Structure formats: C-alpha cells, structure tokens
Amino acid sequence: MTSMNTNQAASLLEKWIVFLDMDNPKAWDKDEYSYIKDSCKMIRSSVSCLRGKSQGKGPSRRELSELMEEFIEEIALDDPNEWEKENKDFVSEVLEAARFTVKFLRQK
C-alpha cells in the first residue's frame, strides 16, 4: 500500500483482530489472554476513532496512540524477522495501518 487512509487502516486493524483470533479466549494461553483482550479493546477503540465515532469511555486518543505503539512492539509487529513468510504482505500492511493510526490519534 502506498497511501493509507482512515478506512483502509480501520479495515486492516479489524482483519488483524480476526487473523489473531483475539476474540477467542480458547485460542490463547490463560496467562496471555488478558493482554490480548485488552489489546483487542484498544484496537476497537482506535478503529472507532478512525471511523469518526467516539471511542466511548476509556483511554483518550493520546493514550490509545501510546497503547498502539506498545502493542506494535510487544507483538513484534515492527520486526519483519518475526513474520511468517506466507503472511509477510498482510503483516506489512497491518504495520502500516497501526503506524498510521498512531499518527492519526495524535492529531487534534
């Protein structure tokens, strides 16, 4: 992708939730799922902001941007050496969407 926009970023982040099966506690170890569940909420709140909707109660846009940055690092989204070869293109697009979202959330 060359030029990310809010709709593309929101769509890619939603696909990432599905790809990682973040809504499924059974797909994760018990000790990991608390973090995954919180991250999923953060991503959904960020998607709401991208779509021009209120993120409701919870973190501010600035806090969401910081949480998104932490998520990128925590799951090694920014490390191509950690990506599975067959998912490389998709993960690259999701990384671009996540970085776009961080910048977007810091505006205003």
**What's the pLDDT at 57?**
78
Q: What confidence tens digit (pLDDT) does each residue in 10-39 have? A: 999 999 999 999 999 999 999 999 999 999
Domains held by the chain: number: 1
Does residue 56 lie within any of the structural domains? yes
Grade residue 55 by pLDDT with cuts at 50, 70 and 90: low
Contact (CB, 8 A) for 51 and 6: yes
Instruction: Please provide the average confidence, as pLDDT, over all residues in the chain.
Output: 92
Does residue 1 lie within any of the structural domains? no
Domain span including residue 31:
6-106
pLDDT at residue 2 greater than cutoff 60:
no
Grade residue 43 by pLDDT with cuts at 50, 70 and 90: very high
Does residue 93 lie within any of the structural domains? yes
Does residue 37 lie within any of the structural domains? yes
Rounded distance between C-alpha atoms, residue 104 and residue 52, angstroms: 11
Rounded distance between C-alpha atoms, residue 63 and residue 59, angstroms: 5
- What sign does the dihedral 66-64-23-16 (CA atoms) show? negative
Does residue 98 lie within any of the structural domains? yes
